[in-house]
Amino acid sequence: MSTRTITVTTPSGDVPLTITESGAGGRPVLLLHGGAGPDSVTGFGDALAGRFPFRVLSPVYPGFSGTARPGWLDSMGTLAGVLGGLLEDLGLTDVIVAGSSVGGWVAAELALAAPERVGRLVLIDPAGLDSADHPIADFFSLTPDQLADLSWANPKGHRIDPAAMPEAQRAILLGNREALLAYGGRSMADPGLAARLGGITAPTLVIWGEADRIVTPGYGKEYAAAIPGAVFRMVPAAGHLPQLENPGAVLQLFGELVTAAGYQ
C-alpha cells in the first residue's frame, strides 16, 4: 500500500487529492469512503487487492482527515466532478467504482457524470435518495452511542467517546463532520436523485447490510429499483458498513462480480 497526492485541475481551481493505492496492477477500482472517513474502506481496499487482480485507488475527500476543502466544493455533484477529473488525469476507463454510505452517493453521481469512465458500479449502503417510505436517520442529531446502535449489527467494540480522544483526533472528527454537512446537507438526500438514477448505464450491484438502521434495507431496495438492471444483495450479520462488519461476505459478492464480468 502506498499514499501519494495528485492535483486535479478543474475550471474552479486545483484540488489536491490524497490517494491510497493497493495492488500491483490489474483492473482499476475507485473505492470511495463514507462519512466515517477513509478508515472505513482502507482495510477493505487492501483485502480487495489481495484477493482479486485489482488496482485499488482510495481518495480522501477534501475536508476529511484534516485536508483542506475549497469553498466551491460543496456538493456530491461537484465532488463527483473532481473524481471524474482524477480518472481522466490517470487515463483510467472501465473502472469499477465502489462506494460506501455517502461514498455510494458520490459513486452514483460519478457514474452519471462520467459514464465513459465507469465500467461497473458497486453501491454499499449508499445515501442520497430522498425516500418518504424509508427516511434516512437524522445523522447530525445522533449521539455517538445512538449512531453506533443504528450503524452496527453488533455495536460492541464500535463505540467511541470523543471526550476521551486526543485533541488532534477530535479536530479531525469535527472537520469530517463539517465536510460531510457541506457535501450532503443535513438531510443527506437529494430530492432529484431518484429520477436521475435512471440514467445510470453501468451494470450496478447494490449491497446492503441487513441490520442497517441508518438507511434500512427497504431504502436499499428502493435505491436499487431506481437504477436500470441493478442487482440487490443483502449481507447478513452486518449494518451500515458491511465491508467492515462482514468483509468476507462482501468479498464474495465482489468475486461474483469478477466472474460475471469475465475479469482476469
Distance CA 160, CA 154 (A): 14
CATH class for the region spanning 2-261: alpha beta
- Half-sphere exposure in the Cβ direction for 127 (13 Å, CA): 28
Q: pLDDT, tens digit, for every residue of 177-228?
A: 999 999 999 999 999 999 999 999 999 999 999 999 999 999 999 999 999 9
Give the mean pLDDT of 80-84.
97
Per-domain boundaries in the chain:
2-261
Helix, strand and coil in the chain, % to nearest 5 = 40, 25, 40
Does the predicted TM-score (pTM) go above 0.85? yes
